[in-house]
Structure 1
């Protein structure tokens, strides 16, 4: 009797055949590139733990954005390193804060580029937490007003999208209400709805100078062991008015990306975070991996899992590799 089995290799027989049946295509338009801006002049300071990532002063920002646009990247997310910090993070919502100045400059020079503002307090507070601190506690409701003020000031500066990353309860509702009251009803909110308390953030805190000066962020960021909590967080932010849902980190949380995507009709954004970037860069510098092949595979896996967009420090490199 003849044995019958499936011949799956028929669809892998050549490069052309494999391209024809490929299910997931990575595109430059999928990428959002993070930009770190700082006060001063002629500053291009490489982040020690993130090779190829720089803190840039405003006068060097135009050249950086020109390269981003030339590569076909259509969106950036802006993070700021202020000159002064205080206990309430006032530079976050000051109309002449570093992020506000950067957004205005980018939109003046490149009006068609989508500029996303990271909306948080941790980079601007002297204690490094994402809200007001009182007697060692991070106050939730009292922090919402400052986060809403920050969002409004960023939109006034020209931000196209607000991306609140603070993980206070009710932050989307507070920001949506404040934006609407100011007439900014058409500004979308890209919520860091599913943000885990992760060890993968270490190099970012190097880049943004946002390490907490005491304790940790586990009372407001999520336990990395939890899956159902992610579904609850995403659901509540959608009900409060979010327009995009971010899952952060992404590489070790592809199962969460898929869970959120299955439940959510909004665009899902993966944040390919600093630790994920730095591990690959370190291995590549030691000659242990093929960086190009690994990065493209990694980013494709994020899209396959359900990411409609990917915030990634690899955006410029990946854009060049895709073009090749």
Structure 2
């Protein structure tokens, strides 16, 4: 049939009509809100490169949680700035360190709020890498030792689960990390705790503000030997398939905006929930442009969220979560 029999605008004529035929909906249940916790008292310090995002001490965290729950957000992702760092990131698996303390605090105040624990070593090592460093005695070359790193990551995941974390989210990109953590959790009696795997994590330039927030900038080299080349997509499928085989419960793509094709490929290829991380630079760029008056922040952010959903994301990790929840209420 040809024009004028087919008129596509018939289904766009009113807000009610557009609402009825809308193919993708963003809801507050899609959102996971990242939180940065630190030691001290009365700490609520804005991260300079991330307007509206803060470091919280445990005593100020309660007010933030109250707002999150009131907005209907059902899950938070915890990152911690520890009291001490060393070469192997022991503080990551310390039962009395900040992520574990914050987890226990959250679950005591709001038992139904899901706590997702980021499982990595970069915030906890004095060199800023996501694993344990091995120095070759002949060449003096420093590299991240994959298998030694797995041992420490398993200890970290078990400690986080013991503190009450509802979901373990390993972001380290070591080979075999899902299998190792799944085995460790099961052996420790946490077979019910799911793994939200950072399956496809690119060595991206979009992480800059986060490294300020987490104090996790590498002290030498970069992370390109374990995070993925931004040019590769078939490799992303291999990474995701490995995680599925190893027992992941959810698959994540990070960053989000520049990798929506990868989100769609995972959605079409696997039957697990797909998560996308709307990362720090994606957040900060919008905030900076909005502060200049160059864009409509609300319209831009809601369009981004819709784009993530349209690409196939079931969950969205975003620093905009509180704003989005407010805007969705109208």
Give the alignment's TM-score, normalised by structure 1: 0.98
1:161 aligns with 2:167: yes
Q: Which residue of 2 aligns with 1:310?
A: 316
Residue 303 of structure 2 is matched in structure 1 by 297
**Structure 2 partner of 1:262:** 268
1:83 Cα deviation after fit: 1.7
**Which residue number in structure 1 is paired with residue 129 of structure 2?**
129
Identify the match of residue 193 of structure 1 among 195, 199, 202: 199
Which residue of structure 2 aligns with residue 115 of structure 1? 115
Select the residue among 192, 200, 204 that pairs with 2:210: 204
2: CA distance, partners of 1:277 / 1:291: 10
Name 2:81's counterpart in structure 1: 81
What CA deviation, in whole Å up to 9, does each residue of 1:180-200 have, x standing for no partner? Answer: 001111100000000000000
The answer on whether the counterparts of 2:83 and 2:97 sit within 8 Å (CA) in structure 1 is: no
Q: Which residue of 2 aligns with 1:19?
A: 19
Q: Deviations over 1:29-69 (max 9, x none)?
A: 10000000001010111000000000000111111111000
Paired position in structure 2 for 1:97: 97
The partner residue of 1:174 within 171, 174, 180 is: 180
Which whole-Å CA distance do the structure 2 matches of 1:3 and 1:68 have between them?
A: 50
User: How far apart are 1:240 and its partner, in Å?
Assistant: 0.1
Measure the CA separation in 1 of the matches of 2:81 and 2:270: 34
- 1:14 to partner: Cα distance: 1.1
Distance in 2 (CA, whole Å) between partners of 1:229 and 1:4 is 47
Confirm whether residue 241 of structure 1 aligns to residue 254 of structure 2: no
The residue aligned with 2:230 is 224
State how far apart, in whole Å, the 1-side matches of 2:4 and 2:120 are. Answer: 60
Report if aligned partners of 2:81, 2:123 keep a CA contact under 8 Å in 1.
yes
Secondary structure, counterpart of 1:50 in structure 2? coil
For residues 63-91 of structure 1, what are the alpha-carbon distances to aligned partners after superposition, in whole Å with 9 as ceiling and x for unaligned?
Answer: 11110000000000100001211001111
Determine helix, strand or coil for the equivalent of 1:52.
coil
Q: Which runs of 4+ in 1 moved over 2 A?
A: 2-6
Unaligned runs of at least 5 residues, structure 2: 136-141
C-alpha distance in 1, partners of 2:47/2:188?
37
User: How many angstroms does 1:6 deviate by?
Assistant: 2.7
Number of aligned residues:
323
Provide the secondary structure at the position in 2 that maps to 1:270: strand
Q: CA deviation at 1:220?
A: 0.2
Residue-by-residue CA offset, 1:192-223 (whole Å, 9 max, x unaligned): 00000000000000100000000000000000
TM-score normalised by L of structure 2: 0.97
RMSD: 0.9
1:264 deviates by 1.1
Query: Is 1:272 aligned to 2:302, yes or no?
Result: no
- Note the residue ranges of structure 1 that are not aligned, 5 or more in a row: none
Partner of 1:138: 144
Q: Secondary structure at the match of 1:172?
A: helix
